[in-house]
Chains A and B, each alone.
Chain A
Amino acid sequence: MLQDQKYRSTLSGTLYSKLGIHVERCYQCGKCSAGCPAASAMDLKPSIILRMLQVENERYDREVLQSYTIWLCLSCHTCSTRCPMEIDIPRVMDVLRSESLRQNLIHPRAKDIVAFHVSFLNTIKRFGRLWEVGMIVEYKIRTRHFFQDVLLAPVLFLKGKLTVVPHKCVSIKQLFTWKKQESSL
């Protein structure tokens, strides 16, 4: 029985094959939505996302990938610690985000959030660790919010939080071997 689900072309099939998570387990108690700190800003509450995934049709799958919710999720794990059916919702959200990116179905209001994610990951890829200045510059170029929060910069600089020269990790290649392994799958 579990075999066939692996090959289902729906999002819940993808979730099962990537994470081994059964969205069918959700019995819609709503505890995740009740406890989620970001729920008030979400367009679809986490429990609704799971219900939509359970239905397994293209329309709902698309709506889920186009939702703002998946980008608002802070991965704070409040939901998964409380879930009576032990569904790891933040990991579900992670897969949904990567699917959304892959299919280019990103919610319009989430463009900035995606820009931040990309800038962050790019500095990591380049230096093996976070370089704030590089990330901020890239983020501002991507979003064109050149003057947003700019007054914070001097304070951060005086406290030594912004370094002009990046610290480089010794073996970045090693750090990213997992990445290559995953893409070869």
Chain B
Amino acid sequence: MARIGVFVCHCGENIAATVDCEKVAKACAQLPGVAYSIDYKYMCSDPGQNLIREAIKEKNLTGVVVAACSPRMHEPTFRRACAEAGLNPYLCEMANIREHCSWVHPKSEETTLKAIDIVKTIIAKVRKNQPLYPIKVPVTKTALVIGGGIAGIQAALDIANAGHRVILVEKEPSIGGHMAQLSETFPTLDCSQCILTPRMVEVAQHPSITLYTYAEVESLTGFIGNFVARIRKKAKSIDEKLCTGCGECVNACPIKKIPSEFNMGLGTRPAIYIPFPQAVPNKPVIDRSRCTYFRTGKCRFCESKCPTKAIRFDQNDEVINVQVGAVVVATGFTVLESTFFPEYGYGQYKDVVTGLQFERILSASGPTLGEVRRPSDGAIPKKVVFITCAGSRDPAKGIEYCSKICCMYTAKHAMLYKHKVHDGQAYVFYMDIRATGKGYDEFVRRAIEEDHVKYIRGRVSRVYERNGKIVVCGADTLLGAEPVEIEADMVVLATAGVANPGAEELAQALHISYDRHRFFTEAHPKLRPVETNTAGIFLAGACQSPKDIPESVGQASATASKVVALFSRDELTREPIVAVVNRCAPPLYSTCVGCFMCQTACPYSAIEREELRTRDGTLVKTVARVNPGLCQGCGTCVAFCRSKSIDLQGYSNEQMYAEVVELFAE
């Protein structure tokens, strides 16, 4: 016979103002199985908890019901109190008579009756409760960092410097990401590559970091502490051990007119290439879709020039499985192309470029070697118009968010342009200037006051070509929306930052959620900004939303601290609220019929196949088994199971039925 203790909390006036707590306690004392029932002003206070502890010992209770607030609030408190008194914590349940009753109803007899009903259902559940024990899972102390931009680099270095192994996967031939493409950085105007490349080299040389470039994560299975990642190392077509990075092959390649991805299509590269001079690793790869040999079977010029015979045309993609304990996703973002904008010429005007292209034009390592020359004819533009919010904050284009970085980089662009072309004039069309970082507004004011960049508040309606000039039509809303027409030599669109093309597929492969803009979603926008909803997977950088460098680095370090905290323990404890497939005596062994409907329904891939064998090894039947490490206790499999063989521990069918039946029993 169960001996249940009921503890009714007044929560000050929160419950007692509308519910007669004393009456609830008295009514519950009459119920079968209730050995003790009492009310108290603050159950969560120390004396309140002591009341529970002492009652458990004195009355030898086998179950506890605390009628108080939401279990989200104080369930851990009361379960801990029970555990301290020697009762299995999972025999303690909370009846929510605050949020579900006292707060939402006026003071009346009926409110008290409802409170009694709520407590009654939970008492019925607790009668069926079984002791449960936390699940322990081991931790593999290796982290997988996906993406080798500044966020990925920072996360990898921080984790590695804390003494753990890191596998860094980058899909491009070199790490560095977008930051390597930038000319200078706001608000200090220090050279982007100069501050980034030492970090890149540090990654390459770090003994704890394994770097896989030109590789992609194909799938991720397992659970926190015990993931298995499948990584496809695309064939670079060179033997990295032999290659010295001399670049003879790059010079030898006859195909030279391939638009360079690193230069955003403004420069060219051969089919065998190193993306940029400071690349890490500084070894070329063959772009097989462009290489003459792979297309026609002839050429092999590079092979003949290679002094170390490092070219491997017969190399295959290599797929490896690695065991990792935590994953940091830092896959970054991309910017909209100018072809996205019909009103700005659909990308048909060569001198209408994106912000990232302008970065390359300004960069000393760029296609113009740092001279500001426009793409169409190489002339130095004397009038440059910068258009901010190109795509951003434009619900009609499907992007209602602010891309956050454009205000700042546009001010930087305009400033750098003025520093390089002294007699030039820069115009910026803006909607608002969002300069909210340290030293950011001062930076924008400097562009306006010292470099005389003309800021015009208004959105550009149209860009068209007239007599070799690009005419920008806008309005100055600060002068009563007076139309403004500027005959420019060049137009720079601060196009919206958007998620990477493969973001959706990656999110599905990793089982993490993403929003409708395909940016990965954090577990809580304020309090868990670097975690995902999947335990053990963290987010850093612009894959979550557009971010500038300091923010990305900050977030990367935050993820690193989360990973290091995870790795600080040898095993993890988890709540035992997981599904289990039943087992019973032979000849049945389990009521599971092995239909594996549950396997298709499980969102966490937690259902495995288990072969039941007799002692002599003959196969009896194949049944489902829930991996307790992966199971998140959602209960979908329970609902799907045709033979009612799966139950959720702590929320079993029997317990749920008991609750419902109690509610209608009279």
Contact = CB atoms under 8 A, between A and B. Distances in A.
Interface of A: 1-2, 5, 22, 24-25, 27-28, 48, 51-52, 54-56, 60
A55 B454 contact: yes
Contacts, number: 27
Contact of B479 (A2, A5, A51): A51
A1 B454 contact: no
A24 B449 contact: yes
A1 B478 contact: no
B476 A55 contact: yes
23 contacts: A1-B450, A1-B451, A1-B452, A2-B450, A5-B452, A22-B449, A24-B448, A24-B449, A24-B452, A25-B445, A27-B445, A27-B448, A28-B457, A28-B478, A48-B479, A51-B476, A51-B478, A52-B479, A54-B454, A55-B476, A55-B479, A56-B454, A60-B479
Contacts of A28: 457, 478
Given A24-B449, A60-B479, 6 more contacts: A1-B450, A1-B452, A28-B478, A51-B479, A54-B454, A55-B454
A54 B478 CA distance: 11
A141 B517 CA distance: 74
Interface string B444-463: 01001111101001000000
A51 B445 CA distance: 15
B47 to A, nearest CB: 56
Contacts of B445: 25, 27
Q: Taking chain A's interface residues, is the majority helix, strand, or loop, or is none over half, making it mixed?
A: helix
A25 B479 contact: no
Interface of B: 445, 448-452, 454, 457, 476, 478-479
A11 to B, nearest CB: 15
A64 B450 CA distance: 24
Contacts of B449: 22, 24-25
Contacts of A54: 454
B344 to A, nearest CB: 23
Contacts of A2: 450
Nearest to A24: B449
A153 B451 CA distance: 57
Nearest to A60: B479
A25 B476 CA distance: 18
B137 to A, nearest CB: 57
Contacts of B451: 1
Contacts of B479: 48, 51-52, 55, 60
A145 B451 CA distance: 51
A27 B479 CA distance: 13
Contacts of B450: 1-2
Contacts of B448: 24, 27
Nearest to B451: A1
B442 to A, nearest CB: 12
Nearest to B479: A51
B265 to A, nearest CB: 33
Contacts of A60: 479
Contacts of B476: 51, 55
